[in-house]
C-alpha cells in the first residue's frame, strides 16, 4: 500500500507527537491522509482529570498544518462494554489487569478500524512503535527499531485482519528522530511529554477512582507465618511485588529490610507481605496462561522455545512453552521470575517477531501454598 496517492489512510490522532509524525510521514509518502480523534471515556470528572479537550486541540492543529480533514468519533460505549467492565471484573477477582491490551484489540484496531472503513478508508495508521511484515498471506508483528519505545507487548492481541490494514509509520524511527521531524514540521506538540497511564484514570488518584466502582474491603496484612503487621485498604489496591504504600513502619520484631506484597488470600481477605526484594515467595519459574492469541498461525509444535515478557519493558526471558490443552499454555522460564502477576500478560518473542501471548492465570496457587508451607517448615526447623 506504499506510495499510492489513491490509497486513503485514516490516522488515529491522539494529540501526541507520535501520531502527528505518523500522519506527516504518510502524507510525504503520497497517501491521501485524514485524521480521526477518538473519545473513549466519559464521566462527570473527565474534564478535570483527562486531557481529552487539549488532546483534541493539538490533533486539530496538526491537521490544519498538514491540510487534512479531522474526524471525531466517540467509542465510550464500546470502551465501557469491552474494556472497562473487564477491568473491574479482574480487580474484583483479585487480579491485576492491563486494560491497554484490550483497548488496542477492541477499540483502536477494531472499533476505530471499522469506523474508518465505513468512512471509505483503505487502511488505518497509528503512532505505535511497532512494525509489520507481510509474508505470503500472513502479517507478522515486529518490534520497533527503537527498542526502548517498542509497544508490541500491548499489540500482541490485535487480530491478523486488523494488522493487514494497519500502518505503523514511526516504527522504523528512533524517538529523538520523531521529535526532530515534529519540530521541523512546526508542530506545537513536538516537545510534549509522552502520555502515561490510561485516559479514564488520568491524573486522579487511582485508589479514589477504583473505589467509585468497587467497594473497598480493608483487612489484615500478615507475614507468611500469620503475624499481623498492618491493615490493608482493600486487596484490589495492591499488586504482587509492590513496595510503596504498605505503611509498615519500623518493627522491633523485624529487620529494617523493605516489605513487599507477596500474595493475596482472597478467601480470608488477607494481604501477605514479606521482607526482601528477592524473597522466595516473590519468585516463580513457571506459569499457566489462558486467553491465548497468536499474531499469525498458532504454533503447530507441541512445544517450543522462545523468549517472553511478563510486563512491559522487561528484558526478554528465555523460556520453554508447552500446551496442557488447546486453550492454555505452560511457560517454564530458564531463570526464576519475580512477582508474576495473575491478570497481566505474558507475551512471546522469537528475535524481533512478536508471536502472541496470553493472560497469566495461574502462577500456581497450589505452588504458592506449597512454597509457603516449605518456608514455614524451614523456619520451624531453624
- Predicted confidence band of residue 201 (pLDDT cuts 50, 70, 90): low
> Per the residue annotation, which of 50, 103, 306, 329 is the catalytic one?
103
Is residue 199 part of the annotated active site? The answer reads yes
- The CATH H-level superfamily of 8-185 is HUPs (3.40.50.620)
Residue spans per domain, the chain: 8-185, 216-277, 282-369
Average pLDDT value for the chain: 89
Number of other residues whose CB lies within 10 A of the CB of residue 188: 14
Give the DSSP letter string of 65-121: HHT--EEEEE-HHHHIIIIIHHHHHHHHTT----HHHHIIIIIIIIIHHHHHHHTT-
Supply the pLDDT for residue 305. Answer: 98
Residue 72 has pLDDT above 80, yes or no: yes
Is residue 103 part of the annotated active site? The answer reads yes
- pTM summary value: 0.90
CATH architecture of the domain with residue range 282-369: Beta Barrel (2.40)
CATH number of 216-277, picked from 2.30.30.280, 1.10.150.170, 1.10.3720.10, 2.102.10.10: 2.30.30.280
- Read off the C-alpha cell for 50: 483527562
The mean pLDDT value for 10-19 works out to 95
pLDDT by residue (tens digit) across 285-332? 999 999 999 999 899 899 999 999 999 999 999 999 999 998 999 999
- Predicted confidence band of residue 376 (pLDDT cuts 50, 70, 90): very low
Strands 123-125 and 8-12: what pairing?
parallel
pLDDT by residue (tens digit) across 74-113? 999 999 999 999 999 999 998 999 999 999 999 999 999 9
> Is-same-fold flag (216-277; 282-369)?
no
Supply the pLDDT for residue 5. Answer: 58
pLDDT by residue (tens digit) across 131-140? 999 998 999 9
The mean pLDDT value for 268-283 works out to 95
- Residues in the chain, overall count: 382
- Torsion, CA 345, CA 98, CA 144, CA 127, rounded to 10: 150
> Per the residue annotation, which of 199, 306, 310, 319 is the catalytic one?
199
Supply the pLDDT for residue 64. Answer: 97
Residue 382 has pLDDT above 50, yes or no: no
Amino acid at each position: 500500500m506504499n506510495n499510492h496517492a489513491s490509497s486513503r489512510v485514516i490516522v488515529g490522532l491522539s494529540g501526541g507527537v507520535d501520531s502527528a509524525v505518523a500522519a506527516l510521514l504518510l502524507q510525504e509518502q503520497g497517501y491521501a491522509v485524514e485524521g480521526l480523534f477518538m473519545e473513549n471515556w466519559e464521566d462527570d470528572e473527565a474534564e478535570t482529570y483527562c486531557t481529552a479537550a487539549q488532546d483534541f486541540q493539538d490533533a486539530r492543529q496538526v491537521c490544519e498544518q498538514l491540510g487534512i480533514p479531522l474526524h471525531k468519533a466517540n467509542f465510550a460505549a464500546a470502551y465501557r462494554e469491552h474494556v472497562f467492565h473487564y477491568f473491574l471484573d479482574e480487580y474484583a477477582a483479585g487480579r491485576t489487569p492491563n486494560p491497554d491490551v484490550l483497548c488496542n484489540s477492541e477499540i483502536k484496531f477494531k472499533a476505530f478500524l471499522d469506523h474508518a472503513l465505513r468512512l471509505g478508508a483503505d487502511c488505518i495508521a497509528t503512532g505505535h512503535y511497532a512494525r509489520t511484515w507481510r509474508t505470503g498471506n500472513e502479517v507478522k508483528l515486529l518490534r520497533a527499531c527503537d527498542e526502548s519505545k517498542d509497544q508490541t507487548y500491548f499489540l500482541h492481541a490485535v487480530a491478523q485482519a486488523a494488522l493487514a490494514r494497519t500502518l505503523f509509520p514511526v516504527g522504523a524511527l528512533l524517538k529523538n528522530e520523531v521529535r526532530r521531524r515534529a519540530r521541523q514540521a512546526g508542530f506545537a506538540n513536538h516537545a510534549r511529554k509522552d502520555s502515561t497511564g490510561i485516559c479514564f484514570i488520568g491524573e486522579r488518584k487511582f485508589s479514589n477512582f477504583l473505589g467509585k466502582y468497587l467497594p473497598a474491603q480493608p483487612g489484615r496484612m500478615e507475614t507468611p507465618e500469620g503475624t499481623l503487621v498492618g491493615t490493608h485498604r482493600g486487596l484490589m489496591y495492591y499488586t504482587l511485588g509492590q513496595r510503596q504504600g504498605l505503611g509498615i513502619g519500623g518493627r522491633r520484631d523485624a529487620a529494617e529490610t523493605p516489605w513487599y506484597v507477596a500474595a493475596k488470600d482472597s478467601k480470608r481477605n488477607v494481604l501477605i507481605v514479606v521482607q526482601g526484594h528477592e524473597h522466595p515467595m516473590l519468585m516463580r519459574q513457571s506459569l499457566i496462561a489462558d486467553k491465548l492469541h497468536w499474531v499469525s498461525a498458532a504454533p503447530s509444535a507441541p512445544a517450543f522455545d522462545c523468549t517472553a515478557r511478563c510486563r512491559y519493558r522487561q528484558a526478554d526471558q528465555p523460556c520453554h512453552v508447552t500446551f496442557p490443552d488447546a486453550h492454555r499454555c505452560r511457560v517454564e522460564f530458564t531463570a526464576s521470575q519475580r512477582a508474576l502477576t495473575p491478570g497481566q500478560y505474558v507475551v512471546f518473542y522469537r528475535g524481533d517477531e512478536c508471536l502472541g501471548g496470553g493472560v497469566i492465570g495461574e502462577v500456581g496457587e497450589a505452588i504458592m501454598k506449597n512454597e509457603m508451607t516449605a518456608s514455614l517448615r524451614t523456619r520451624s526447623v531453624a
